[in-house]
Amino acid sequence: MAEAGIVDQDQYSCSVCLDLLKDPVTIPCGHSYCLSCIEECWNEEQGKDYKCPQCRQTFISRPQLNRNIVLSEIMENMKSINSSHVVLAEPGDIACDFCAVEIIKAVKSCLECRASYCEVHVQPHYNVPALRKHSLVKASKIPTCSKHDKLLEVYCRTDQTCVCMHCLMDDHKGHDTIKVTDTQTKVKKTIQAKEKELQIVTTDITCHSESAVEAIKSSKKAFAELVKLIEKKSIKMIELLKAQEKADLDEGEKIQDKLKEDISELKKRDDALENLLQTDDNVQFLQKYESVSCSSGLEDFPRLSFQPRCSFEDVNKLICELTKSLENACLQEIDKTLNKVSDLPTKTPKFGIKVGDNVRVKPSVDTPTHKWGSVTHQSIGVVKKILDELMTVDFPEQKNWTGLVSEMESVVDVSSGSSSQDPEIKVGDKVRVKPTVVIPTHKWGAVSHKSIGVVQKIKPDESLIVDFPEHTNWKGILSEMESVTNGKETEISILDSTFKVGDKVRVKLSVDTPKHKWGAVSHKSIGVVQNLSSRKIPVNIKVGDKVRVKDSVITPKFTWGGYVSHTSVGVVKGKIWVLSYDKYIKSENVMVDFPKHKGWKGILSEMEVIID
């Protein structure tokens, strides 16, 4: 309502004073004026015909002026609305260029008019069709060219100053310039893109939080059901034990009753014998003794004992064994699950790649699982998202490209396209062709990946001349070469040779011709190891080294145990065989002490050294 009152202000203005109506009155023709304005106008026409200042209708006698109650209420509302929008300009504020009486704070500036307006005076830019096309911005000081009095809307990079469009035709003709509005448009587009990213991230966070709540509920439910199951089995076990106890007790009561009967019978016989001993008549004694003695032996009363069918001591042992077995099984399985849950956030970092990294497809990958698209081995992109084994990468050639994390490698030095930042190469350095370069720009000649030469000359175009033992004055490109230190010279000969049956292998790119010839095999061929010679190659692991199971080993030969995982780090212990001249482990089996599993047994080829 407030905005509507301001926008329609003209229709509530007096046509005489051009201001808002004060004490509005209406004359017979229907037009309204300020009471003081129409009286003053008609006072000047005293003795003449009285006319309406707008439609010029003539009245013979001076009309009676009646107060317009509706307009009076509207005017009161208009005044309150306008007063709430009027803010006086303070030092440092942009003032309205059209307010004459009071210095009102401007709310908008027009780039075409090069003027600033308050809430009232900016309204024509909203109502007048021709002014609606003007560009209104937040009230600010509008920079203008002192020479052409035009808006400064172009930035000259050559002179590092803002200029107008006319300046481009004379003083700054041919200079490196950029239009500010173009930059502003790009910024606005970037803002929109970031707002969209924020919305997506907010949605992802909400979904992740909801997923966590569901996981917690599932966890509570699973453990509660497990407790209920154990309680149910416990009740069943108790009922079984009570039934067994009752059966044994019933049998015991029967034995007790039988023993009581036997005792009673024996007591009767004892009394009879006692009476017989008191008899003086020998004939009577002999007659009675015969009847008593014939059934007085223990053979008539077999030995009875309580022999329960169930031994509760055995039950206690079984319960203890069950408890121990359940504890071990539960703890092991629960710990495995906890370790897996703990490993979830680090599942991707084990490849050493995270969101924001520069990456490319590994040279060893002939064709990515999710195809090339417009991407090549030389393409370098930025990781946008990682989910489990999948990653989304933005390449210059293709946005939102999908690939496997295991098929990618980080690229540190983007400018040279190298995955490792080599020191600066200079004349006299030993160099060789990088292993990632399949074919050098200027071809191999007699050179191979194993060739090591000395730089003789480096040209401004980044090319260099190298003297190799096999090829003098060989021409190459700086970005395709790497410096060779003493460590790198022996790198090819000490590469990990711990292959085992079942491993996937191929011929190294540095090998021009295998010792036993190619046959139908090529550098691209990938095969599976079926057999290994008996010659043992010592692995660089010694007693006291920190080791862990290699990521490539899914299940160790001697199993994981209860507490060992890929993230577990242990120390090599136990009786270890060593060579005569060094401390390299010679035996294939190795004993390792992990924090939660002492004396763990593993195989050398499945282990790797951890360097602090």
pLDDT digits (tens, 9 = 90+) for 547-596: 888 877 778 888 887 778 888 888 888 555 544 344 444 557 788 888 88
What's the average model confidence in pLDDT over 343-348? 53
Domain that holds residue 544: 536-612
pLDDT at residue 492 tops 60 = no
- State whether 306 and 353 are in the same domain: no
Structure confidence at residue 74 (pLDDT): 78
- State whether 14 and 92 are in the same domain: yes
- State whether 28 and 127 are in the same domain: yes
Calculate the average pLDDT of the chain.
Answer: 78
Joined tokens for residue 128: 């007048």
Give a yes or no: residue 553 inside a domain: yes
Could you give the dihedral angle defined by the CA atoms of residues 566, 600, 536 and 448, in that order, rounded to the nearest 10 degrees? 20
Give a yes or no: residue 328 inside a domain: no
Structure confidence at residue 3 (pLDDT): 40
- State whether 107 and 186 are in the same domain: no
Structure confidence at residue 95 (pLDDT): 87
End-of-domain residue from the set 388, 410, 432: 410
End-of-domain residue from the set 410, 433, 458: 410
What's the average model confidence in pLDDT over 11-37? 82
CA distance 118 to 97: 8
Structure confidence at residue 586 (pLDDT): 52
What's the average model confidence in pLDDT over 504-512? 72
pLDDT at residue 432 tops 70 = yes
CA distance 118 to 434: 69
**What is the 8-class DSSP label of residue 425?**
P
Only one residue has tokens 């017979």, namely 28
> pLDDT band at residue 4, thresholds of 50, 70 and 90?
very low
- Is 297 or 187 the better-scoring residue by pLDDT? 187
- State whether 76 and 63 are in the same domain: yes
Structure confidence at residue 82 (pLDDT): 58
- State whether 526 and 540 are in the same domain: no
> pLDDT band at residue 299, thresholds of 50, 70 and 90?
low
Structure confidence at residue 10 (pLDDT): 61
- State whether 401 and 473 are in the same domain: no
- State whether 293 and 385 are in the same domain: no
Structure confidence at residue 490 (pLDDT): 42
Structure confidence at residue 401 (pLDDT): 92
Structure confidence at residue 496 (pLDDT): 40
Structure confidence at residue 402 (pLDDT): 92
Give a yes or no: residue 320 inside a domain: no
Give 191-248 pLDDT, tens digit per residue. 888 888 899 888 888 888 898 898 889 889 988 998 898 899 889 888 988 888 888 8
Task: Please tell me whether residue 58 adopts helix, strand or coil conformation.
Answer: strand
> pLDDT band at residue 483, thresholds of 50, 70 and 90?
confident
Share of the chain above pLDDT 90, in %: 3
Candidates 154, 159, 162, 157; CA nearest to 183 is 154
pLDDT at residue 393 tops 90 = yes
CATH code of the domain covering residue 397: 2.30.30
Structure confidence at residue 416 (pLDDT): 40
pLDDT at residue 310 tops 60 = yes
- Is 374 or 185 the better-scoring residue by pLDDT? 374
- CA 218, 222, 227, 233 torsion-angle sign: positive
Structure confidence at residue 499 (pLDDT): 63
What's the average model confidence in pLDDT over 284-295? 65
Structure confidence at residue 2 (pLDDT): 37
- State whether 171 and 118 are in the same domain: no
CATH code of the domain covering residue 17: 3.30.40.10
pLDDT at residue 157 tops 80 = yes
End-of-domain residue from the set 487, 506, 535: 535
CA distance 116 to 108: 6
CA distance 285 to 277: 8
Give 73-116 pLDDT, tens digit per residue. 877 776 665 555 567 777 878 888 888 767 788 889 988 888 89
Give a yes or no: residue 15 inside a domain: yes
Q: How many CB atoms lie within 10 A of CB 38?
A: 23
- State whether 86 and 190 are in the same domain: no
Give a yes or no: residue 444 inside a domain: yes
What's the average model confidence in pLDDT over 243-264? 87
Joined tokens for residue 120: 């009232």
Structure confidence at residue 9 (pLDDT): 58
pLDDT at residue 493 tops 60 = no
- Is 361 or 60 the better-scoring residue by pLDDT? 361
- State whether 117 and 29 are in the same domain: yes
- Is 544 or 292 the better-scoring residue by pLDDT? 544
Structure confidence at residue 487 (pLDDT): 47
What's the average model confidence in pLDDT over 150-170? 86
Give a yes or no: residue 448 inside a domain: yes
> pLDDT band at residue 189, thresholds of 50, 70 and 90?
confident
Q: Hey, what amino acid is at 596?
A: K
**What is the 8-class DSSP label of residue 105?**
B
Only one residue has tokens 């295991």, namely 406
> pLDDT band at residue 392, thresholds of 50, 70 and 90?
very high
- Is 133 or 282 the better-scoring residue by pLDDT? 133
Domain count, the chain: 6
Angle at the Cα of 496 from the Cα atoms of 490 and 498, rounded to 5 degrees: 145
- State whether 370 and 426 are in the same domain: no
Q: What angle separates helix 312-343 from helix 180-277, to the nearest 10 degrees?
A: 180
Task: Please tell me whether residue 318 adopts helix, strand or coil conformation.
Answer: helix
Which own/partner contact pairs does 321-329 have at CB distance under 8 Å and 24+ positions apart? Answer: 326/230, 328/562
Give a yes or no: residue 130 inside a domain: yes
Three-state SS sequence of 220-276:
HHHHHHHHHHHHHHHHHHHHHHHHHHHHHHHHHHHHHHHHHHHHHHHHHHHHHHHHH
- Is 221 or 528 the better-scoring residue by pLDDT? 221
Give a yes or no: residue 343 inside a domain: no
Q: Which of 61-75, 457-471, 537-551 has the lowest mean pLDDT?
A: 537-551
